[in-house]
Amino acid sequence: MGISFYGDYLKKARERAGISQEKLAEGIINLQSLNRIENNRAGVSPGTFQALTSKCGAPTEVFPLFPDWDDFNCFYELYKAEMWLGSWQTKEVYNCLQEVEKTGFAGNAIYYQKWLYYQAALHMRNGDTNYEEIMSILQCALKITKEKLSFEDIKHEFLTVNEIMILTAIAKISFMEGNNSDCLLICSQLSTYLENVALSYKEKSDLVLGVQKIYVLYLIRNKEYLEAMNEASLLRDNSLLSISEKHMIEAAFLFGLTKYLTGETKDGIHFIKTAYYSGEAIESQFATVANEILNVLNIEINELKNVIVPSEKKDNFAMPDINRKVELRTVECDYYADDVITLGKIIRQKRKDQKLSMKVLCQGLCSISALSKIENGTLQPDIFLARSLIQRLGMSDEPFTFYASERETRQYKLEWRISGESRYNLQNISILLDEMKKEITEKDIIFKQFYTDNLIFFGEESKEKNLLILENIKITLPGFCLDKINEYRLSKNELSYVVSYCMMLRREVSVTKAIKGLYGLLDYINQFFVDDLLKNSMIGIILATITGALSVQKRSDEIMELMPMFKQKIIYGHTHCLPFIYGPITDIYIEKNKENQIDRYCKYSYYLGELHKIKASKTFLKNVEKKIGRDIDI
């Protein structure tokens, strides 16, 4: 689907949902603008487009235009704020929101609404208890697009993703304030609503988990402990398979709390400690948040006394002024205006900023002629090509790449599923690979490369897997040589294939050669990944892999030299990598006989392993205790 025809997509989505233009436009855009957009006579900001399509209960499946660079920067910073919020890094969330405010929200009511929501979410993640003020922020945000909304009618409404997130937060604050009736009403209405909408896999799973967490809290307060435990068990399992890790720590906490309340005291305390120590390991305010939940529930757990003391380094963020006047403008744009930012313009501008030739950027992906057409806006690339080009420029595609066909959406979903299953459910990998194979056509070079890498990595044992992976890498990076990695530009997937290659080098050829390659990858990321969103997706696995390899060769000094990188908050969004970093650090402190550090990093590694159901975590703990000749106070 071409950029200029997403008006058709929106119109069909609206008609399929049975919504009038007047109802769809309400609170989002004026009627005349919506009419022009649907008739492909005007463009629209991605934030507004997402609001319109999600209100129709449809996935955002195309690539909208950005009216100008302010709109692009605002949209991108809001997505970064979401990333930092998911990993509990409140200071970084605040900094992103400050940048958004500097743009004047690009004059866009939807961006301002999302900014207000993130302000409220920031204070909630920070453990702030000014519930009345937080509720006022959320109500202000909701009124931007829903001037009047009865909680009893939510399931009959047409809601945007923003509105669903805001309502979920209102349910949480209602719970914290003791308003059980509104909490239950909103949760039950949203659950019914989400069952019947066709949002994207990523959007829907995240929203469902958000509602489910609040419902478990309601059941606990209502002393329906058995049902709460069943819901919490499902919540924990689903959070492990989710694209985002943002719900995992809370899910473990609620699972532990419900087990404790149903009499499974030992298991309950274990999972609660898992959540507390995991939260401390990423320098979050989770302990503050969890303790406040226990406080409002009037639950005292003696076994938790002195386990985790809430951080005294809590930042105090000012509440936003919701009474100020914010200048907002019409969000439609002229397709052909000079200041309109298309996908092609983004690629061209970022490529020129980096003084990168077209040949290097597109090698193995498409012809120079095709890239030229993409940059000039005369060719709309498929999702996988668009994603690879943007990532090769050191940026994440996630904020603004949308999926243009049902087949590509299925392929995308399979990618995410296999990523989740590879961490938690290896027996399903072969089934998913079979499904992936059925989706491949001759034109699917990039998707087939992803399939092949997983087929090799998880397939039958072989002494030459490193060579097979290398040949697969060369499909899109002709003549690739690990020693010359900085001469290439790699997408996120291509980088992950190189990590797989290094893993196989370590296993089949030489640990020393693998370490050299991994150092090259680390240098590549620091040099070419200009965007925290993309760096966040890869830095953790590379650091974990190189730490493991260095540990094998007893190169303890080099591991400790990497310590500043281990403390970068950018790696906290992928906590499944941290046990493989903190484990070798524990061993180093055992060598140095540093008792306090041994206990701290052993607990971090063990409990983060338990958070992610890593089977080796218990063996790791026993080995540590054997080495030091005493028990760790777990």
pLDDT tens readout for residues 502-537:
999 999 999 999 999 999 999 999 888 878 888 888
Is the per-residue pLDDT at 28 higher than 70? yes
Confidence band of 250 (pLDDT split at 50, 70, 90): very high
**Residue 44, H or E segment:** strand 43-44
Mean per-residue pLDDT for 133-142? 97
CA distance 544 to 495: 15
Residue 49 resides in a domain:
no
Among 596, 237, 563, 252, CA closest to 421: 237
Residue 294 resides in a domain:
yes
Residue 18 DSSP one-character state:
T
Is the per-residue pLDDT at 106 higher than 50? yes
Question: What's the gap between Cα 428 and its chain centre?
Answer: 23
pTM: 0.89
Confidence band of 279 (pLDDT split at 50, 70, 90): very high
Q: What percent of the chain has pLDDT over 70?
A: 94
Q: Report the DSSP pairing between strands 43-44 and 332-333.
A: antiparallel
Is the per-residue pLDDT at 158 higher than 50? yes
CA distance 103 to 98: 9
Cross-strand bridge partners of residue 333: 43
Is the per-residue pLDDT at 89 higher than 90? yes
Mean per-residue pLDDT for 539-553? 95
CA distance 472 to 448: 10
- Locate all alpha helices (DSSP H) within 129-247, ordered by sequence: 131-143, 161-176, 180-195, 201-221, 225-241
Cross-strand bridge partners of residue 44: 332
Mean per-residue pLDDT for 137-152? 92
Can you give the C-alpha Rg of the chain in angstroms?
25
Give the domain-ending residue among 282, 304, 326: 304
3-state helix, strand, coil in the chain (%, to 5): 70, 0, 30
3-state class (DSSP) for residue 501: helix
Contacts (Cβ under 8 Å, ≥6 apart) of 212: 231, 234, 235, 238
Q: Give the residue carrying structure tokens 């026993």.
A: 622
3-state class (DSSP) for residue 131: helix
Mean per-residue pLDDT for 228-240? 95
Residue 506 resides in a domain:
yes
Contacts 24+ apart (CB under 8 A), 310-316: 310/127, 310/285, 311/280, 311/283, 311/285, 311/287, 314/126, 314/127, 314/285, 314/288, 315/90, 315/91, 315/94, 315/126
Residue 441 resides in a domain:
yes
- The token duo for 316 is 């105090």
Cross-strand bridge partners of residue 341: 66
Is the per-residue pLDDT at 198 higher than 80? no
Task: Tell me, yes or no, whether 120 and 245 share the same domain.
Answer: yes
Tens-digit pLDDT profile for residues 299-339: 999 888 766 665 556 788 999 999 998 888 766 666 667 77
HSE at residue 36, side-chain half, CA atoms within 13 A, is 15
CB atoms within 10 A of CB 99: 15
- 383 burial class (0-12, 13-18, 19+ CB within 10 angstroms)? buried
Write down the pLDDT at residue 335: 63
Task: Tell me, yes or no, whether 127 and 248 share the same domain.
Answer: yes
Task: Tell me, yes or no, whether 88 and 219 share the same domain.
Answer: yes
**Residue 115, H or E segment:** helix 109-125
Residue 80 resides in a domain:
yes
Dihedral, CA of residue 499, residue 503, residue 505 and residue 508, to nearest 10? -160
Residue 488 resides in a domain:
yes
Mean per-residue pLDDT for 222-238? 96
Give the domain-ending residue among 304, 333, 365: 304
Give the domain-ending residue among 249, 272, 304: 304
Confidence band of 356 (pLDDT split at 50, 70, 90): very high
Q: Give the residue carrying structure tokens 């990998």.
A: 429
Task: Say how many domains are in the chain.
Answer: 2
Is the per-residue pLDDT at 57 higher than 80? no
Contacts (Cβ under 8 Å, ≥6 apart) of 438: none
CA distance 23 to 34: 11
Confidence band of 49 (pLDDT split at 50, 70, 90): confident
Task: Tell me, yes or no, whether 114 and 257 share the same domain.
Answer: yes
Confidence band of 341 (pLDDT split at 50, 70, 90): confident
Mean per-residue pLDDT for 39-45? 75
Among 608, 512, 604, CA closest to 552: 512
- The token duo for 18 is 């049975």
Residue 119 resides in a domain:
yes
Contacts (Cβ under 8 Å, ≥6 apart) of 554: none
Q: What percent of the chain has pLDDT over 90?
A: 62
Among 533, 569, 558, CA closest to 81: 533
CA distance 79 to 88: 14
Is the per-residue pLDDT at 1 higher than 60? no
Among 529, 588, 537, 530, CA closest to 561: 588
| Mean pLDDT (the chain, rounded) | 89
Task: Tell me, yes or no, whether 278 and 150 share the same domain.
Answer: yes
Full domain range(s) for residue 136: 69-304
Confidence band of 422 (pLDDT split at 50, 70, 90): low
CA distance 492 to 623: 35
- 381 burial class (0-12, 13-18, 19+ CB within 10 angstroms)? buried
Write down the pLDDT at residue 26: 85
Contacts 24+ apart (CB under 8 A), 288-296: 288/126, 288/127, 288/314, 289/124, 289/125, 289/127, 290/253, 292/127, 292/129, 292/176, 293/176, 293/217, 294/257, 296/175, 296/176, 296/178
Task: Tell me, yes or no, whether 462 and 595 share the same domain.
Answer: yes
**Residue 492, H or E segment:** helix 492-508
- The token duo for 34 is 């919506």
Mean per-residue pLDDT for 278-298? 94
Task: Tell me, yes or no, whether 449 and 598 share the same domain.
Answer: yes
Write down the pLDDT at residue 313: 61
Contact in structure between 126 and 315 (CB atoms under 8 Å): yes
Residue 571 resides in a domain:
yes
CATH number of residue 439's parent domain = 1.25.40.10
Q: Which amino acid is at 489?
A: R
Confidence band of 2 (pLDDT split at 50, 70, 90): very low
CA distance 314 to 474: 48
CA distance 548 to 539: 14
CA distance 251 to 275: 8
CA distance 190 to 236: 20
Q: Which residue has the higher pLDDT, 155 or 477?
A: 477
Write down the pLDDT at residue 61: 52
Is the per-residue pLDDT at 30 higher than 90? no
